[in-house]
Amino acid sequence: MTQLTTAARPAPPTVIPAQPLGLALVRLKFRLLAALSTEWAFRAAWRLFTTPRRLPEKAWEAAALADARRFAVPGPAGALAAYEWNATGTRTVLLVHGWEHRASFWGVLVRELVAAGYRVVAFDAPGHGASAGRRLTLPAYVRAVQAVADTLGPVHAVVAHSLGGATVVVGPVHFNAETTAGLPRLALLAVPASTPAVARRFAELLGLPPAVMGRLNRYIREQHGRDAESFSLTQAGPLFPAEQVLLLHDEYDESIPFAEARELAAAWPALHFEATAGLGHNRIMREPAVLARIVEFLA
């Protein structure tokens, strides 16, 4: 592991926040449901787990898409809203966003990649942004990324954040099937190493009892013929056909613990791991030093 030098920021203070009233009410709901029926509690939790919020548009998002060519790709839940910048670029970079984000969140990186001469494509996942659908699972996201990738021709690189990175690698999404069947460059930002760990954090947030989590694990096996751990990057990463892989993760990531990045780096020897400090889970997508490192890596 190496440390990527970024603008100096103090470590966030350790604060134990008061429990929001809304969260307390949700936890009470799930306690009551679980007392009545494990199945009812599981179904309600699964719906919540797979339903992203469509967050209000930020002021800078429209500007991020202003120069893009917009197009639609048929996806698993309907049309996927996709965007292309610098169509004449000689090499293609696909950007894959995380949970409750959308293509426009990549606006700062898009500007840097276009300046470096790349053709850049991003899209909104099902249930996100301007794409159709209301819910999203990891397998459905895999199908969506594959649908977009199949329209692009040769892909030089993928840059993926959080759930987007897990999706590309765990699927796996297949690139350049007619030539190398591999990907020259893969840059991962703040990705989860363990799918069960993501589920555990969700269960802890809602106060779900072990019986409900056991039902969740059974459901995954029933639906996909594999257990939840098989969807983890620690297992899928070393098998992914990429020539070079870069992992960037912040020491103070509030969503995906930094320990998971260390775990992933240990499990994936070919991966190059660089840490940042003070950027958290989302600012890592916009930090100038991080963007410069990504552009350097993709060359």
User: pTM, whole model, 2 decimals?
Assistant: 0.94
Burial class (CB within 10 angstroms; exposed 0-12, middle 13-18, buried 19+) of 239: exposed
Alpha helices by DSSP H, the chain:
21-36, 38-49, 61-65, 107-115, 138-149, 163-170, 195-206, 210-224, 233-236, 258-267, 288-298
**Bridge-based pairing state of the strands 119-123 and 157-161:** unpaired
Output the pLDDT for position 16: 45
Burial class (CB within 10 angstroms; exposed 0-12, middle 13-18, buried 19+) of 219: middle
Question: 19-47 pLDDT, tens per residue?
Answer: 577 899 999 999 999 999 999 999 999 99
Output the pLDDT for position 7: 63
Output the pLDDT for position 10: 60
Q: Is the distance from CB of 145 to CB of 167 less than 8 angstroms?
A: yes
Alpha helices by DSSP H, 159-287:
163-170, 195-206, 210-224, 233-236, 258-267
Q: Is the distance from CB of 171 to CB of 237 less than 8 angstroms?
A: no
Low-confidence ranges of the chain (pLDDT < 70): 5, 7-19
The residue type found at 175 is: F
Q: Is the distance from CB of 34 to CB of 208 less than 8 angstroms?
A: yes
Give CA angle at 200 (145, 12), nearest 5°. 85
Q: CA-CA distance, 299 to 243, in Å (whole number)?
A: 13
Output the pLDDT for position 290: 98
Output the pLDDT for position 15: 45
* CA-to-CA dists, residue 173 to 88, 93, 185, angstroms: 25, 14, 14
Domains belonging to the chain, first-starting first, are: 20-49+195-226 (no CATH), 71-191+232-299 (3.40.50.1820)
Q: Residue 52, preceding bond cis, omega within 30 degrees? A: no
Token reading at 25: 């009410």
Give CA angle at 277 (242, 160), nearest 5°. 30
Q: CA-CA distance, 96 to 268, in Å (whole number)?
A: 21
Q: CA-CA distance, 105 to 60, in Å (whole number)?
A: 9
Q: In what order do the strands lie in the sheet with 157-161?
A: 2-3, 271-276, 242-250, 183-189, 157-161, 92-96, 119-123, 78-85, 69-75
* CA-to-CA dists, residue 68 to 82, 103, 114, 196, 294, angstroms: 9, 11, 11, 37, 21
Question: 118-139 pLDDT, tens per residue?
Answer: 999 999 999 999 999 999 999 9
Output the pLDDT for position 258: 98
Beta-bridged to residue 276, according to DSSP, are 250
**Bridge-based pairing state of the strands 92-96 and 69-75:** unpaired
Output the pLDDT for position 153: 96
Q: CA-CA distance, 127 to 148, in Å (whole number)?
A: 15
Output the pLDDT for position 39: 97
Output the pLDDT for position 227: 86
